[in-house]
Structure 1
């Protein structure tokens, strides 16, 4: 496993208003520059730390309790002055209460369904539950719900969101509990169960890519991003279903099935509908509360489509923020991995764990100096106040639900202090982009000309020697793949090295489009002084034109957040979700998180799928 150069500390919460566990504290407005480096859980959760462990615990409360009555005249005042929260020169019971509010600790009842990372940590810190108990409950939910026909209505289908569960997840959870007992909460991911799209290498579970021909692919190492999650104490719970080799938006896979057969992943909101793709298994599993957090990959929409279909927050990071080493590729010009979560907070915490420079993926060297100590520092409920948000009318589409929810969301953005600006994109740009913005959106996926080359590289460096299908031709010969994909695989196998270089090489046509596309869209943001460009990620269970191509065809980051659901009156797909996507400048995931968090806190648009509630 290559060395990944990660930050020494993860976490950091500036303002949390949704949990009910704490008081919200406003931070400075979001700036485009990364905030200064800070320790674990700073600033709100650490500024009253008295014992030097970068968090407020019972040890700090003991120090304050022992100092009750101390004043500025006492010799040891300097040791407890931080706890004088009301600045009256005396340590009082009111100060003790204020310090206690900064603990991630909740000894009330714990409900796993819709629990956030912070909820889990607070309950585990209080001893109300444990990582072993949480992990077991998620395993129980998978067993009860994933392959069971819960929806008996017309067209209802089982979720089929999980390919396999880990045989060692409970052991990992027990190690996390032991680490907490010995050292306290060392990370916001400590003991949190995570589901990974089954194109992330995991040394303790096979990595199939959704294809039956690779059922035996147990790799020798973890993907670099998985290594980061484990280093922060996360429990790798399961591998999630996906559209075979991450090609499409329906999440049809052949893993662990008879030759010539395949299965579709269902959305937990409307099970007769697909969960989207290609990260549809992750989307369905996280929405149905079958894991705490999820990770997908995105080449042309594969995080953002299932996030929209399943009312999740999805993050397509800047290409180069997180290493792709150990992830089965589709097109490395556009591939990137990222979190899918039930809240912006959870997504920010998850992203913290996986960023870093990795020599095995040289493009990650671009991030040097651009990554903050923690993305959670940007979470500010007032982040939209004074922000400038741009939109291109043609990207709104014509779907009745989407247009209704956009109108409501625009009003919300403006009520929160944002200026919403209609943007006219350039219609010309250069010989590479003759039609300007339209040329950026019309550029196709890199998978057509890159998949064979990039897959061969993965096979050479990662694929288990136990697997016999070691090329696209071998996959076709195996007969164990989604039957409808044969022509796709045959055509991709015919791509020559010369065609690949002409497309994706340093002077390739696709390479030039992506580079100039980034320049064009960045200029759009700069010229209108925008903090983000926004557009719907998808309609209810359907895509919108070429919206999904904007982020991959520029390499710029995007965060998608739920804004509501279709109603019967819309005459679309009742219950189907719609997400708003926020696109920003290179490596400015932090400001995007801030804007998305503010919108989320104002709307609380996500709903929990009624069919998949708490187990009886």
Structure 2
């Protein structure tokens, strides 16, 4: 969740945009204290890029080929990523992207190696090390806390559905990633990437810059090659924003394509988990694993008609040819000239590849901020209290009021840098039957869907909309909080529709992303367009862990 641009006219106070086997030496890599908090200082640490990494920019297909040939084993891959995390995340750069490692990761990998030898691989994720956000529940020896010390010890009784899918696919869960605490829905002055439990996560492209949020750790870790792929969650911007800030592909699915069961909630109307990867192909592979019907999340019933086991079949290097793509300049351009210049070059590439670009404003988007916040405040109170109730005796905290009180009692660790204004606002809301809530929800759906994305796409017969995801990442500022110029995540987020961001280039070494946005269940189309653009440009490059942005004047 993140702030809208100042141009929206919404006051800041009104809106907020989460081994038992193996060598003894390897065991030291997983012995992390779950309550240890890295320094909250916004000053970047001394730079250590680390040694050359054999698996840098590795793809799922490449890793599977190595596993099949015997060049690598799942155990070996897991050891290498654990060592990389120790060197980069906990060592010289203090990236702060991984909040906890899985003490059973090496044992799981060894078992998957034995299974491969006996039966062959389960699929494209068999033996692949994956990181997941710390609001995604696991019923194992790891914590699930949404970054808050309040949930330490409250381990769920079962895995989240997406974790069940990952385990069934043969993925190795390396650990949990840091995030903006409570999915960045606690304060109007928060600093993205900070949590009470994990401290401040940094951007691997410039360590004094924000990794953005709330899936900050998933973005930074994947960009820094600390895992093969990762899973994030989004309510409004929390997958696409950190993905853009870290030069990744991030796919926010249609609400209902991927189950939310077992994930610490923000809003049942907008929440979704999704892939955060270095390539579009890997995002397509991971989406195929995550998507599907879950009886525990009724909204996924519709995915029976729309989910695909293999999204890679929609990828087409010539996928832009003949596509009609809308450009909503009115609200989603104009807040940062250098970003606009990059996106104009991206639009030129699309035209060169055969796409037809149509000016397609979304006038209703300017009206979304106020009703969205009203919905989220109501949803959060209801949904988080339902989640806490589901933990039963594993936590003494049962209500939002209990969480507020916990934060006050642990002010030195939880409220050291910013407050909990959004918690207090949510606490004042009534049940989901309130007329004010129902009116706001109806407005959100009308403005974002029939008067928004659906209307503009039908009017111009579009395959997708395209816009800059956001400006380059700003400086980490724990004192004043995040500085947002603008973004394009809100229409799809409020509608519950899909969007995908793909690298569009760099400004002063800082990543910029380009978003493709579509109607409900249009993931195949968005993946096709994003893949064709990615293959035409290939902007993605690994981070250098620079201490700050390259502010030297550009050569003309």
- The normalised TM-score by structure 1 is 0.74
Query: What is the aligned partner in structure 1 of residue 339 from structure 2?
Result: 402
Query: What is the aligned partner in structure 2 of residue 501 from structure 1?
Result: 434
Query: What is the aligned partner in structure 2 of residue 144 from structure 1?
Result: 87
Residue 557 (structure 1) aligned with residue 498 (structure 2): yes
Distance 2:158 2:217 in 1: 23
**Which structure has the higher relative contact order (CA within 8 Å, separation 6+)?**
2
Query: What is the aligned partner in structure 2 of residue 370 from structure 1?
Result: 306
Q: In structure 1, list runs of 5 or more residues that go unmatched.
A: 1-109, 151-157, 257-262, 428-435, 567-573
The match for 2:162 among 213, 225, 229 is: 225
Name the SS for the 1:338 alignment partner: strand
Residue 482 (structure 1) aligned with residue 411 (structure 2): no
Distance 1:503 1:243 in 2: 28
Within 5 A, what are the aligned runs for 1:119-518?
119-150=62-93, 158-204=94-140, 205-247=142-184, 250-255=192-197, 263-394=199-330, 395-425=332-362, 427=363, 436-440=364-368, 443-445=371-373, 446-461=375-390, 463=391, 465-478=393-406, 479-480=409-410, 482-483=414-415, 484-497=418-431, 501-504=434-437, 507-518=438-449
Between 1:187-196 and 1:390-399, the stretch displaced more is: 390-399
Distance 1:302 1:189 in 2: 24
Distance 1:584 1:247 in 2: 25
Distance 1:164 1:301 in 2: 24
Distance 1:373 1:285 in 2: 26
Q: Deviations over 1:165-210 (max 9, x none)?
A: 0011111111221221122232101011111110000111110110
Name the SS for the 1:551 alignment partner: helix
Distance 1:503 1:197 in 2: 32
Q: In structure 2, list runs of 5 or more residues that go unmatched.
A: 1-52, 186-190, 475-483, 547-556
- 8 Å CA contact retained: 2:256, 2:300: yes
Distance 2:317 2:197 in 1: 43
Distance 2:302 2:446 in 1: 14
Offset, 1:439: 2.3
Residue 581 (structure 1) aligned with residue 524 (structure 2): no
Q: Deviations over 1:484-518 (max 9, x none)?
A: 233332332222226x63354xx442244225521
Aligned length: 471
Distance 1:442 1:381 in 2: 40
Query: What is the aligned partner in structure 1 of residue 528 from structure 2?
Result: 594
- 8 Å CA contact retained: 1:266, 1:273: yes
Within 5 A, what are the aligned runs for 1:92-111?
111=54
Name the SS for the 2:290 alignment partner: coil
Name the SS for the 1:556 alignment partner: coil
Q: Deviations over 1:49-93 (max 9, x none)?
A: xxxxxxxxxxxxxxxxxxxxxxxxxxxxxxxxxxxxxxxxxxxxx
Q: Deviations over 1:288-309 (max 9, x none)?
A: 0111111111111111110011
Offset, 1:264: 1.5
Offset, 1:317: 0.3
Offset, 1:399: 1.3
- 8 Å CA contact retained: 2:469, 2:487: no
Distance 1:509 1:441 in 2: 10
Query: What is the aligned partner in structure 1 of residue 450 from structure 2?
Result: 519
Offset, 1:464: 6.0
Query: What is the aligned partner in structure 2 of residue 52 from structure 1?
Result: none
Name the SS for the 1:226 alignment partner: helix
Distance 2:222 2:493 in 1: 24
User: Which is greater in Rg?
Assistant: 1
Q: Deviations over 1:108-145 (max 9, x none)?
A: xx931110001100000000001101111111111111
Distance 2:143 2:442 in 1: 33
Whose helix proportion is higher, 1 or 2?
A: 2
Q: Deviations over 1:552-584 (max 9, x none)?
A: 111110011011000xxxxxxx21111111011
Residue 540 (structure 1) aligned with residue 472 (structure 2): yes
Offset, 1:397: 2.3
- 8 Å CA contact retained: 2:177, 2:217: yes
Distance 1:179 1:508 in 2: 54
Offset, 1:442: 5.8
